[in-house]
Chains A and B, each alone.
Chain A
Amino acid sequence: MNENQSNNGALVRVENVGKIFHRGSEDIHVLADLHLQVPAGEFLALMGPSGSGKTTLLNLIGGLDRPTKGSVVVAGERIDQLSDRTLAAWRARHVGFVFQLYNLMPVLTAERNVELPLLLTHLSKADRKKHVDAALAMVGLSHRAKHYPRTLSGGEQQRAGIARGIVTDPTLLLCDEPTGDLDRKAGNEILDLLQALNREHGKTIIMVTHDPHASARASRTVYLDKGQLSNEPVK
């Protein structure tokens, strides 16, 4: 049974999901009865105004947070019911994250940063090196492998971040504003790279963005406002 079949054709299925944050005595309803299906191989852009809950939804799909109600099923597994320990192992196996501010370890070189997710596998040092080299080559950063993040440009740091996200060949790549901190040229290069990963390597990508230019690269765009999704931009 493949992943799509196991999930009624969708790699990601978010059903009836609600998320409430508590701030003091106040309850903040961020997501309400939300439904979303993402087929395998799709490049989905998730847009919406600030505070609309885009990152919260991405965190729920990536197993970084749990919904207050509803279910999140990824690759046939209901991840909202997994224990913390199992969920961590699940993330290591299935999800690659790309963050707006790259979130690289400043004390590690680019290649050591990319190697981090592989430390959780049983691969030998030599095999880890092969995977790291392949990931860095894929994002065009082989020549900067030994450089520390502070010596890399923003675009190069984001390439290293993407290489870290794909080095374990995850089921799903989740990108939170991947071009949000880059200039137009570097942003375009990153979008080219994500598009190539989706089209040439079949990666399923969910990308949160504010930028219509970025969302135009996706195969589908959905809009989030007041905790609800729609296929049309918010007026």
Chain B
Amino acid sequence: MKFFHLIWSNLKRKKLRTSLTLLSIVVAFVLFGFLSSIQQALVGGVAMAGADRLIVRHKVSIIQLLPESYKARMERIPGVTLATHQTWFGGIYQDPKNFFMQNPVVPEEFLAMHPELVLSPEQKEAWLKTRTGAIVGRKTADRFHWKIGDKVPIQSTIWSTAAGNRTWEFDIVGIYDGEKKGTDTTPLFFRYDYFDEARQPGAKGLVGWYTIRVKDPAQAVEVAKLVDQEFENSAAETKTEPEGAFVQAWASQIGNIVLIVAAILGAVFFTILLVTGNTMAQAVRERTGELGVLKAIGFTNGQIVGLVLAESCLLTVLGGILGLGLAWLVISRGDPTSGLLPMFFFPTRDLLIGLGLSAALGLVTGIFPALQAMRLRVADALRRM
């Protein structure tokens, strides 16, 4: 700490240059914060997926339907404790831009399968009693200012009623929250019995996919094989995979998000590396004589390396803290897409990674100027004062 004043004073030597470099670092870390949050929003479901849950879908494609009768056969397979189904409804609320997920489900089975969705016992009871009842996640309820008792019309892009009407009405009977911060609370779930009865006759008894719970997650691979064997050579063969892989594949429809984010951040940080590296190299070059004085009065080569590295780390960590803090403040104000993203928050893990990255940036940009300063011969350096 006794060297802090010296390090800080050196940073203040060229205020404009230091400020501009600091600003570029801040911008880079604000971008890092936003991209981390968007990545979390798009692929965060993978981390939240249940380790004991498998998804069974049609072998050809997710849009091919499976018979409802598969449920009983699945539950007879050794290792399977529960099976329930969902179907993609593909609805919009009032305007095509108001898109979010809505699926018909069997309420009791569905809630038993997804304990991460927190619904009060009264609201659960109301759902079981109300045939047209639906529960909606907190994020979507807030987005559209829905409250319990509201009747909401959803227009399906896929399903028509028997009367040929694509607009379905639901009664909001419950608003659920996520047990954990990263839980997606955008979907709306409504009752399958209402859906199956009301839809056009041709599709009755068909569902989108199954979620099954296995007794022992360690045996998930074996169970998946047994499920697919069960329906082999049938009209609707299945493909069974862990829920995490299913969510990952779903998110990958947009593209390899992790790769896209990594590529953007890589380009940004490479540029920052050059900017900060140049600042530090100039800073050391300009004070060759002063470094000579420090060595003359007894600073060791190690201490000189430490001073230069501390200076570059102070600059990048300060920029990192400001940038990450600014990103956190803006992200905390809420989803800029007004609820289009399933979740929007700055994960603590990424915040810590950002801090580590800022320190690493300081070390990498400072190491070459530091070594250059270390190699200076005192007598030569003093001549350049």
Q: Can you list 30 residue pairs at the A/B interface with Cβ under 8 Å?
A: A59-B379, A64-B296, A64-B382, A65-B377, A65-B378, A85-B301, A88-B295, A88-B300, A88-B301, A89-B300, A92-B297, A97-B293, A97-B296, A99-B382, A99-B385, A101-B385, A103-B292, A105-B6, A105-B9, A107-B9, A107-B10, A107-B13, A108-B5, A112-B6, A112-B9, A116-B6, A116-B294, A120-B298, A120-B299, A164-B297
B293 touches A105 (CB 8 A): yes
B296 touches A62 (CB 8 A): yes
B13, B295, B302, B379: most-surrounded residue (chain A CB, <10 A): B379
The chain A residue with its CB closest to the CB of B297 is A117
* Distance between Cα atoms of A88 and B297 in the complex (Å): 8
**Cβ < 8 Å to B, chain A residues 82-105:** 84-85, 88-89, 91-93, 97, 99, 101, 103, 105
A65 touches B379 (CB 8 A): yes
The chain A residue with its CB closest to the CB of B295 is A88
* Distance between Cα atoms of A59 and B296 in the complex (Å): 10
B12 at the interface (CB under 8 A from A): yes
A103 touches B382 (CB 8 A): yes
> Which B residues lie within 8 Å of A84 (CB)?
300-301
B2 at the interface (CB under 8 A from A): yes
B290 touches A105 (CB 8 A): yes
Minimum CB–CB distance for A231 against chain B, Å: 27
* Distance between Cα atoms of A92 and B295 in the complex (Å): 9
B296, B297, B299: most-surrounded residue (chain A CB, <10 A): B297
A119 at the interface (CB under 8 A from B): yes
B289 at the interface (CB under 8 A from A): yes
> Which B residues lie within 8 Å of A105 (CB)?
6, 9, 290, 293
B385 touches A116 (CB 8 A): no
* Distance between Cα atoms of A112 and B6 in the complex (Å): 8
Total count of chain A residues near the partner, CB < 8 A: 27
A125 at the interface (CB under 8 A from B): yes
Q: A112 contacts which of B5, B292, B293, B379 (Cβ < 8 Å)?
A: B5
* Distance between Cα atoms of A164 and B241 in the complex (Å): 73
Minimum CB–CB distance for B13 against chain A, Å: 5
> Which B residues lie within 8 Å of A65 (CB)?
377-379
Q: Which 4 A-B pairs have the closest CB atoms?
A: A92-B298, A107-B9, A88-B300, A64-B378
* Distance between Cα atoms of A97 and B379 in the complex (Å): 12
B382 touches A125 (CB 8 A): no
The chain B residue with its CB closest to the CB of A167 is B297
Beyond contacts A89-B298, A103-B290: 11 other A-B pairs, Cβ-Cβ < 8 A, are A56-B379, A59-B378, A64-B378, A84-B301, A92-B297, A99-B382, A99-B385, A105-B290, A108-B5, A108-B6, A120-B297
* Distance between Cα atoms of A39 and B289 in the complex (Å): 31
The chain A residue with its CB closest to the CB of B289 is A103
> Which A residues lie within 8 Å of B379 (CB)?
56, 59, 64-65
B298 touches A103 (CB 8 A): no
> Which B residues lie within 8 Å of A97 (CB)?
293, 296-297
**Cβ < 8 Å to A, chain B residues 293-315:** 293-303
Minimum CB–CB distance for A56 against chain B, Å: 8
> Which A residues lie within 8 Å of B292 (CB)?
103
A103 touches B13 (CB 8 A): no
Given contacts A103-B289, A103-B290, contact A117 B301 (CB under 8 A): no
B298 touches A93 (CB 8 A): yes
* Distance between Cα atoms of A188 and B296 in the complex (Å): 26
Given contacts A85-B301, A88-B301, A91-B297, contact A119 B2 (CB under 8 A): yes
* Distance between Cα atoms of A119 and B294 in the complex (Å): 11
> Which A residues lie within 8 Å of B377 (CB)?
65
* Distance between Cα atoms of A106 and B292 in the complex (Å): 14
The chain B residue with its CB closest to the CB of A104 is B293
Contact with A along B4-42 (1 / 0, CB 8 A): 011001101100000000000000000000000000000
* Distance between Cα atoms of A23 and B2 in the complex (Å): 41
Minimum CB–CB distance for A12 against chain B, Å: 17
Q: B302 contacts which of A85, A99, A119, A125 (Cβ < 8 Å)?
A: A85
